[in-house]
Amino acid sequence: MADQLCGITHPGQVRLNNEDVFIAQKSNDGQYMIAGVIDGVGGYEGGEIAAAITKEIVLNELSEIGKDVTAQLDIAFLLANEEIIAKKIGNRDLAEMACVATVAVVDTEQNQLYYIHVGDTRLYLFRDNSLVKISHDQSFVGFLEDSGRLTEEAAMQHPKRNQIDQALGLTSRDGMTNPYFETGSSPFLPGDMILVCSDGLTDLVNKEAIVRVLSNTDGLEAKAGQLVDLANAAGGKDNITVVLSRNDKPVKVHESSRPVAELSKPIIAAPLQVEQVSTNSAAVKEEFLQQPKTSTHKGLILLSLLCLILLASTIFLFVNRPDEPTTEVKNAVIPVINIQEKLLTDTLAKFTGDTLLLSAAIFKEPVRLTKPLNFTQDTLIIRTKGKITFVSDSAYKGPAMVFAPACKYISIDSIAFENFETAIVSYNNALDLNNTRFNNCKHALQVLFEFPDQYFVNGRISKRAYQADSTSKK
């Protein structure tokens, strides 16, 4: 299992600094391999800083990988984007910094690949000596190539091939198109290999040359070095970064089925052995005619008697049945069931992922709450399809949502809260509100901090750029 993952980066032949970084490491439990390439943009210092920020946040968010890998990758990129933008504020030297990135997470137990991508770094899948580009370049030239309007050779020579449309640090979340990041998954079968690389490789080395290297018998480190050497030999005009990951489980080769000819031979059944009772048909007829007929008549008489007894028993029980209770029930109070709240609590009880999608097609009426919705997930994104409104029951004075101290990152998108004393209670959380409305709520948000007893506490409350606006930014 040693030759599964490797990465290499080189400044190239022209640039003095290297704004590329890569990720090539396994998760703490060893089940996942993380392969990523991050290409900094924006000058000598800025690009390196943006790439370093993104790498640190991605590795931090993937320190423990849960069931919804794609959601974790999405959160990591959103946090990296927020941190890069915050770093740019007030610093002219960093005003143009950004980065493009592609990160893949391989589940080695389930033979599955998850990825996220923004910009013009690339993710390829190599299977059966065939190289398939999975990611799509988010640039004008990349679009022309992916749509077949430009050949690979023409795209590599195009003067605008490095002009990107999307990257981390270019715009705040409000300015992002939906979806801004490209995400997906794919089977990662025994024998498969992935290549994650910067445009320093693909601008100078074509697909055929890459396939020749990946298909040779050398180890991953040797292959990665050979790809970098090819780019440098072609001019090395940019930083060159390559990460390779391979599913080194043995490829299963199934035995061929038996020839059809062997199975098409006629099946000859053994002759059926029939015991001959009598060959004299006249004797059989005579024996049959001599059978007594009284047994058949006796059976019919007995069956008729049983039917009469059953009928008489039924009539007797009906006539002598006990009197019906005379208690009136038509005025009894039937408790009203809050269908919407029950549906929501049942959904939360079964929920195990990181992204909760609430659909207005299911919650057609405002959801009236009689108790709080409690969340304990490490990471949670609550999204809606349509408008969802939570309304406090007239007798309920508690909050709508409570996020426990175990929650580290919470994102709420397009939910309305009405008539609550306090709509949201959050403990020590990084809370991200998007298009969230508070109608007739005394306290929209209450953030509580917990510290150990008798400890000296140092730090400050970070500024959060909450903004109230009459129009939705979505």
**Residues 151-163: tens digit of each pLDDT:** 877 877 777 777 7
Read off the pLDDT of residues 407-416 as tens digits, 9 standing for 90 and up.
Answer: 878 889 889 9
Q: What is the predicted pLDDT for the residue at 141?
A: 82
By CB atoms closer than 10 A (0-12, 13-18, 19+), residue 428 is: middle
DSSP 66-107: -S-HHHHHHHHHHHHHHHHHHHHTT-GGGTT-EEEEEEEEEE
Which pLDDT score, from 0 to 100, does residue 175 have? 81
| pLDDT the model gives residue 279 | 40
Q: What is the pLDDT of residue 447?
A: 86
Can you tell me the distance from the alpha carbon of 36 to that of 197, in angstroms, rounded to the nearest whole number?
8
Do residues 382 and 415 lie in contact, with contact meaning Cβ atoms separated by under 8 Å? Answer: yes
CB count within 10 Å of CB 211 equals: 15
Contact predicate 23/59, CB 8 Å? yes
| 8 strand-pairing partners | 242
The arithmetic mean of pLDDT across residues 304-326, rounded, is 61
**What pLDDT is attached to residue 259?**
41
Closest CA to 249 of 106, 104, 108: 108
pLDDT digits (tens, 9 = 90+) for 162-192: 778 899 999 888 788 878 999 999 999 999 9
State the pLDDT at residue 316. Answer: 64
Q: In this predicted model, what pLDDT tens digit does every residue of 102-122 receive, in sequence order?
A: 999 999 999 999 999 999 999
Domains of the chain and any CATH numbers: 5-246 (3.60.40.10), 339-448 (no CATH)
- Minimum mean pLDDT range among 334-338, 380-384, 443-447: 334-338
What is the C-alpha to C-alpha distance for residues 128 and 20, in angstroms, rounded to an integer? Answer: 30
Closest listed residue to residue 121, CA positions, set 94, 88, 98? 98
Counting other chains too, the contacts that 15-19 makes at CB distance below 8 Å and 24 or more residues apart are 15/238, 15/239, 17/44, 17/48, 18/48, 18/239, 19/47, 19/48, 19/51, 19/99, 19/239
* pLDDT for residue 465: 54
- Encode pLDDT of 419-469 as tens digits: 999 999 988 667 888 889 999 999 999 888 877 887 787 765 654 556 676
Residue 390 clears pLDDT 80, i.e. is over it: yes
Residues 232-266 pLDDT 10s: 999 999 999 999 999 999 876 544 434 444 333 44
pLDDT at 3: 84
**Cα–chain center distance at 446:** 30
What does the radius of gyration of the chain's CA atoms come to, in whole angstroms? Answer: 36
For residue 140, the model assigns a pLDDT of: 76
How far CA 361 is from CA of 142, 340, 357, 388, 450, in Å, comes to 38, 12, 12, 10, 39
Q: Give ∠ CA 194-196-198 in degrees, rounded to 5.
A: 155
**pLDDT for the residue numbered 146:** 75
DSSP letters, 122-187, are: EEEEEETTEEEE-S---BHHHHHHHTTSS-HHHHHH-TTTT-BS--BTSS-GGG--SS-SEEEEEE
To which residue do tokens 């043995």 refer?
250
Q: Which residues contact 184 (CB under 8 A, 6 or more apart)?
A: 70, 114, 115, 134
Least confident of 82-91, 178-187, 323-332, 390-399: 323-332
Work out the pLDDT band at 320, boundaries 50, 70, 90.
low
Res 297: pLDDT = 58
| Rounded CA separation 369/421 (Å) | 13
**Residue 464 structure tokens:** 């959060």
Q: What tens digit of pLDDT does each residue of 399-408 get?
A: 999 998 888 7
Distance between CA 448 and CA 463 in Å, rounded?
15
Question: Is the pLDDT score of 313 beyond 70?
Answer: no
Judge whether residue 393 has pLDDT over 70: yes
pLDDT for position 379: 83
- According to the model, what pLDDT value does residue 164 have? 83
Q: What is the pLDDT of residue 319?
A: 55
pLDDT averaged over every residue in the chain: 81
Reply yes or no on whether the pLDDT at 288 is more than 90: no
